[in-house]
Chain A
Amino acid sequence: MLSLKKNRAANAASQPRLVRRILIGSTVLFLGLFLLLPLIAVFAYALEQGGTAYWMAIKQPEALAALRLTLMTVAVAAPLNALFGIAAAWAIAKFEFRGKNILITLIDLPFTVSPVIAGAMFVLLFGARSAMGGWLLDRGIQIIFAPPGIFIATIFVTFPLVARELIPLMQALGNDDEEAAVSLGAGPLQTFWRITLPNIRWGLLYGVVLCVARAMGEFGAVSVVSGHIRGVTNTMPLQIEILYNEYDYVAAFSVASLLALVSLVTLGGKKIFEWKSRQHIIDQSAYSAQGGPVESTAS
């Protein structure tokens, strides 16, 4: 038995090395080919004709207008969804009620709706031929083919991102801190600001960062509701499509590289936030039975 085990151990030392190399090799190859190369390509094609061409492409008034609209979309969608995420996580994590699972599933719903369908939905709802759209248009309020439509479509596709980060986090943290604060006489707002917010800030920030990244990059849903008016209702991804269709590849990839940079910042941010919030949970709930950090990946 013992000799057999040794034998195996020896075997395990030699054979796994080969297995290991093959596995690592295929991982590097697969990720390199599927993830790294497309990322490098964006920057390579953007800088193909040098830095000046790159700069000129980004400085175009239409590109700048697209950037402005994209930033505005983010400024609308991210805070609203953050507020919603906090409220939903508070209600779901801190209280027991019937139908909780259904509520969580409903919050997840926008993830499974194809962006195109999401956009189409808002056209049906706010289009000039619908009752509501017609009524609003008669009063001079334009929703689709105008920035508000883009905001709503973006809010829809980024809807669950903050809530999904916060719900498991707040569930893991438990209620003890808040309950202690309340029983010591703290008011609701005070409890939230002093106790809850510091506990969830990294998770919240990460959720917001995800939301920002997705809001900047949404294409399908926004494309349906945009109307593609140059310099007015084109977001950056739509501008990329237009430039690409105008054979202006360098410009298309230049604008794309800005978005790629944002996504790289998001990835870096994710690492930091994960690390920070993990530390935080470990600090906070070293004594808690729930222990381990919450992997929040499904998005």
Chain B
Amino acid sequence: MRYVLSKIGLLLLTAWAAITVNFLLPRMMPGSPADAAIAKLSRNGTVSPATRAAIEAQLGVPGGSLWHQYVSYLDSIRRFDFGLSYTFFPQPVSELVTKALPYTVILVGTVTVLAFVLGTLIGIGAAWKRGTWMDSLPTLSGSFLSAFPYFWTGLLLLFFLGYQLRWFPTSGAYGARTLPGWNGAFVSDVLAHAVLPALTILITSLGGWILGMRNTMINTLGEDYVTFAEANGLRSRTVAIRYAARNAILPNLTGFGLALGGVVGGSLLVEQVFHYPGVGYLLYNAVVNQDYPLMQALFLMITISVLAANFVVDVLYGFLDPRTRR
């Protein structure tokens, strides 16, 4: 329990640090992002004082005291008020983010867990059969695949499976003629649209998990407890899974938490390739239009999501390792 509490403490502390980084970033930049954003907004009509305040809280008031700004910034975060989007005027940023977040979390979350599990299993097999083709094939192809830029894998799949073979829809989260709702037609359409982005993330991230698991597993295979388990005539499946893999998965889980940021970053590019309406695509639009309030809010949400995922991994680790329970 102490372990979980300390992890919660760490989560809160890290979240606070991330929020603060988010506060400092626009204020450290040359020029005045807040002025630029407000100037752009005013092209759509008059900017209400509330909107102006929200934007200034996020991006900085020229000349204001930093501490004062920090307090109002924290307050606006608490109210989940990030101002209005310039790109999608007059929608509030918070609304846009809330709409986009589920797409990304579900897509990236599911695929990442799937890739991790699959990669870990392949890694276990490769390490167990080390020295054979069952080792060298996944290891070499894994090294090569993990060097692929996410967006390029996406472009290739989009081109060949989407445009050439026309197996899957090429853009968006659901077709233009499908009405959102909890019905079979809509769900299957959403699933069909998710196939290509999911496949992209799966293919590109798989290699890393395979290599990571294989390496840690090879280390644990050299441990005395594995030799002793063999000396005691345990079945090779038991030795591989309960002795070697069970221990190898622990450092690999830590690696999972740390590599997560990279996968999420890559996934954002994938969303852009497929015009998938998640935070990545939204971020792309914010960047192209220099929509600072939207960009800033998205960065914060992405960071917080990764932190939360890391926290879940940490807690899981605690359950798997008896040494943390003491």
A and B co-occur in one complex: no
